[in-house]
Amino acid sequence: MKRRSKGKGKRRTRTMGLTGLTMVFAFLCFLLLFVKTGDLTAAAMAVGLSAAVWLITAVIGGVFPSDRLLLSLTLFLCCVGIVILYRFDSGRGLTQTLNFLLGVGCMAVCILFVKYARKWSFFAPVIMAGSLGLLLLPVLFGHETNGAKNWISLAGVTFQPSEAVKLALLCVLAYFLSRRKLILSGIYAGSCLIILMLQKDLGTALIYYGVTLIMMYVSTGSVTLVGIGLAGGAGGAVFGYHEFAHVRRRVAIWLNPWADPAGDGYQIVQGLIAMANGGAWGTGLGLGNASTIPYYYNDFAFSIILNEFGGIFGLLVLGLYLAVVLRGLMIAHRAETVFDTLLAVGCSAQIGLQTFVIVGGNIKLIPLTGVTLPLISYGGTSLLSSLCVIGLLQGVAARVEAGVRRDRTLAGLDGEGGAGT
């Protein structure tokens, strides 16, 4: 008993440290913005946001036996996003804060859903049908933004169905793959990909593709299958390059954005300049002028962070994303059922690949596609879906925790001196 509580206490202190750091970070950043502009809302945010972080850690961490480290990392990344968005446009910052609070609510729902849902044999087909329908909506009724037709308006609210379908894909694939229904999973993922290609939403398609491949590999361990998948993907990429002018244009801009720095390449060129202005240490919060980048608040969230906080901070942020991914994979490793494992692997891969695709686009490692930086970029649907993915991971973690507790009780360790383990 003694030993267990001691161990738990230690872990709590460690993650409390990270939570405390997040609170201090949010408080200081907003304090600085308050001092600089005299804007009282910033002062309120300084107190409010750090209080919210503390409250969320206490409530989510206390009520649900979830993974505290993952929670702390998530909150920190969200705070970075809110700070940088508020600094450029207080309206966007406040909207992002509201979406963040809403997202935390959704995260809690997801935790409960994964923890207590039993009727997956009923849920999975329903989600599958619903998600395909949802994904088709923009093709039929959607409107085109920035070359991709992936938005729909419903009662004045616009949203991106592909973000919601992300969650569906994770759940449905995890369920069918755990039932060894490989072909059905393949058909489902394939149809999603084709619809996304029709919408010209290439970045999201790339992420779906990668997630599907990784989940299939983990469930079967078959290198042949991965090989077929990679060959198919390469074939699709070549086909896309030859058939679609917008794909060729993206690639051309990627290869040399300086060929037309005031036109086609403008966004990337301004993004690169913003990073160069930041250098290693950044221009300082509130001192940069990266808002010259079109869509800086979602496509180029990483660049504006580098602009004001600097390259070293950027590396730190990448490190934190990697920590989230690795923590997710650890949860998958400890999960008890095949479904839980696959779900956790899918969620981790989803966050990892999405970060890779957008950051890679920002730093000109790969062609730029308009996906968002998870947890940081501006955008309701995006932030909500990222937090839900974290929620699914937390749900699996909660089940692991519950399993550990059950085993301990069964083994009679809980009440005794706590030998072993």
Partner 1 sequence: MRGNIRRVIPLMCVLFLLLGAWGAGNLAVNGRRWFSFSSNAYARQMKKEVTEGAVLDTRGVVLASTFGEERVYHSDERVRRATVHVLGDRDGNVANGVESFMSYYLYGFDQPFGEEVRSVLYGTGRRGSDVCLTVDSALSANILGWFPADKKGAVIVMNYRTGAVLAECSFPNFDPADVTVSVKTDPGQPFFNRAVQGMYAPGSTFKIITLTAMLENFPDALDRRYLCDGQLTVGGHLITDAGTDLERQVVTRHGDLGLERAFRVSCNNTFARAALELSDRRLRAEAEKFGYNYNFLFRDMVVENSSYPSDNRTDREVAMTGIGQSALLCTPMQVLLSACAAANDGAVMEPRLLQSVVAPDGKETVSFTSAVFRRVMDEATARTVREQMYQAVVSGTGTRAAVPGHRICGKTGSAEIDGRENTNAWFVGFIDEENAPYAVVVLVEDAGGGGSVAAPVAGQIFRYLLGE
Question: Which of helix, strand or coil describes residue 7?
Answer: helix
Q: How far is CA 115 from CA 24, 61, 157, 326, 397, in A?
A: 32, 15, 31, 21, 9
Taking residue 340's Cβ as centre, other Cβ atoms within 10 Å add up to 22
CB of 104 to partner 1, least distance (A): 25
Residue 30 or residue 302: which is nearer to partner 1 going by CB?
A: 302
Residue 97 or residue 350: which is nearer to partner 1 going by CB?
A: 350
Distance CA 238, CA 213 (A): 18
Query: What are the residue ranges of helices labelled H in 179-310?
Result: 182-198, 202-220, 223-243, 245-255, 266-278, 301-309
CB of 362 to partner 1, least distance (A): 8
Structure tokens at 31: 């304090």
CB of 349 to partner 1, least distance (A): 7
Q: Are 278 and 347 in contact (CB under 8 A)?
A: no
Structure tokens at 387: 């937090």
Residue 269 or residue 389: which is nearer to partner 1 going by CB?
A: 269
Helix (H) or strand (E) holding 145: strand 143-145
Residue 366 or residue 384: which is nearer to partner 1 going by CB?
A: 366
Structure tokens at 250: 């993206």
CB of 303 to partner 1, least distance (A): 10
Strand partners, 11: none
HSE at residue 122, side-chain half, CA atoms within 13 A, is 3
CB of 69 to partner 1, least distance (A): 16
CB of 281 to partner 1, least distance (A): 6
Distance CA 173, CA 177 (A): 6
Q: How far is CA 199 from CA 143, 161, 271, in A?
A: 10, 11, 25
Residue 131 or residue 185: which is nearer to partner 1 going by CB?
A: 185
CB of 378 to partner 1, least distance (A): 21
Q: How far is CA 303 from CA 88, 272, 379, in A?
A: 13, 8, 17
Residue 407 or residue 416: which is nearer to partner 1 going by CB?
A: 407
Residue 240 or residue 360: which is nearer to partner 1 going by CB?
A: 360
CB of 147 to partner 1, least distance (A): 23
Residue 142 or residue 361: which is nearer to partner 1 going by CB?
A: 361
CB of 105 to partner 1, least distance (A): 29
Distance CA 296, CA 267 (A): 9
Residue 261 or residue 403: which is nearer to partner 1 going by CB?
A: 261
Residue 106 or residue 269: which is nearer to partner 1 going by CB?
A: 269
CB of 277 to partner 1, least distance (A): 5
CB of 280 to partner 1, least distance (A): 8
Distance CA 75, CA 72 (A): 5
C-alpha triplet 340, 182, 229: angle, nearest 5°? 105
Residue 51 or residue 315: which is nearer to partner 1 going by CB?
A: 315
Largest CA distance in the chain: 72
Query: What are the residue ranges of helices labelled H in 221-244?
Result: 223-243
| Chain residues that interact with partner 1, rule: CB under 8 A | 214, 217-219, 221, 256, 258, 261-262, 269-270, 272-277, 279-281, 283, 288-289, 292, 311, 314-315, 318-319, 321-322, 325-326, 329, 332-333, 338, 341, 345, 348-349, 352-353, 355-356, 359-360, 363-365
Distance CA 359, CA 267 (A): 14
Distance CA 352, CA 322 (A): 7
